[in-house]
């Protein structure tokens, strides 16, 4: 199996920027698949507005036509908070130890990486793909994270495929200023969210009355 991409988040709701990020990481970094992993109780964020059941279904609807995308509900089945190191350990127990795992994060999340549970161990268990705007320079804001970044940096996809973990691969992506927070605000205000998320997801939101959308039953 080639490198497996891991894209976590609340997906509250999943939108086109999430999907485009996964598509560009899959294509640019030579990933075999990208697994979308909705989180139940993210430790660094407020609780999601939609239930786990609804968020999982929206991700399934958004990804179902792309054979390179998979949905993994393991964090939603976990009663405790969703820590990435626990998810990675579960995947490592299921997959061959040699399968490369590539955790896809944004540059803003990477800047806070030292706050993640067992972050140094996590760097030894996965590769990191750090997505950023074109022309943006990734600047770790602590000496410890900067040292790890410099030691693990690669621009070669071959390095991701050659080892199971341990490298950091920057990736300039198409900047799409779409925010799940703003989508929720627009829906509560009765404004249109069309063209910000897949039509199937928007239809699901409206038919279930999520986020205060006016057309829900």
Instruction: Establish if 186 belongs to a structural domain.
Output: no
Instruction: Establish if 184 belongs to a structural domain.
Output: no
Reported as type and span, the H/E element at residue 42 is none
Instruction: Establish if 132 belongs to a structural domain.
Output: yes
Q: How many domains, in total, are found in the chain?
A: 1
- Rounded Cα distance between 135 and 116, Å, is 26
Instruction: Establish if 183 belongs to a structural domain.
Output: no
Instruction: Establish if 58 belongs to a structural domain.
Output: yes
CB 101 within 8 A of CB 91: yes
pTM: 0.94
Closest CA to 211 of 188, 178, 193: 188
**Residues in Cβ contact with 102 at an 8 Å cutoff, skipping those fewer than 6 apart:** 3, 4, 5, 6, 25, 29, 31, 126, 127, 128, 129, 160, 169
Closest CA to 173 of 1, 32, 68, 21: 21
CATH number at residue 84: 3.40.50.620
Instruction: Establish if 18 belongs to a structural domain.
Output: yes
How confident is the prediction along the chain (217 residues), in pLDDT tens digits per residue?
799 999 999 999 999 999 999 999 999 999 999 999 999 876 666 778 899 999 999 999 999 999 999 999 999 998 777 799 999 999 999 998 999 999 999 999 999 999 999 999 999 999 999 999 998 889 888 999 999 999 999 999 999 999 999 999 999 999 999 999 999 999 999 999 999 999 999 999 999 999 987 544 3
How far apart, in Å, are the Cα atoms of 178 and each of 14, 15, 127, 160?
Answer: 10, 8, 26, 29
Encoding tokens for residue 68? Answer: 């390179």
Instruction: Establish if 10 belongs to a structural domain.
Output: yes
- Rounded Cα distance between 83 and 87, Å, is 7
Instruction: Establish if 24 belongs to a structural domain.
Output: yes
Which residue range(s) make up the domain with 80?
4-177
- Rounded Cα distance between 25 and 173, Å, is 8
């Amino acid at each position: 199996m080639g490198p497996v991409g891991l894209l976590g988040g609340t997906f509250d709701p999943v939108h086109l920027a999430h999907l485009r990020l996964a598509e560009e990481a899959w294509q640019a970094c030579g990933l075999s698949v990208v697994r979308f992993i909705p989180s139940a109780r993210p430790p660094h964020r407020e609780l999601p507005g939609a239930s786990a059941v609804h968020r999982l279904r929206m991700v399934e609807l958004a990804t179902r036509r792309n054979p390179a995308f998979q949905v993994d509900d393991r964090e939603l089945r976990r009663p405790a908070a969703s820590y990435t190191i626990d998810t990675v350990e579960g995947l490592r127990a299921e997959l061959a130890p040699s399968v490369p795992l590539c955790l896809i994060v944004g540059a803003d999340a990477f800047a806070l990486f030292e706050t993640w549970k067992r972050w140094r161990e996590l760097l030894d268990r996965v590769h990191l793909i750090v997505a950023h705007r074109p022309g943006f320079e990734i600047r770790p804001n602590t000496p410890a994270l900067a040292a790890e970044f410099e030691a693990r940096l690669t621009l070669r996809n071959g390095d991701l495929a050659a080892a199971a973990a341990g490298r950091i691969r920057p990736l300039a992506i198409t900047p799409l200023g779409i925010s799940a927070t703003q989508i929720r605000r627009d829906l509560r205000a009765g404004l249109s969210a069309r063209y910000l998320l897949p039509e199937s997801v928007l239809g699901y939101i409206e038919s279930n009355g999520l986020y205060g959308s006016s057309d829900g039953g």
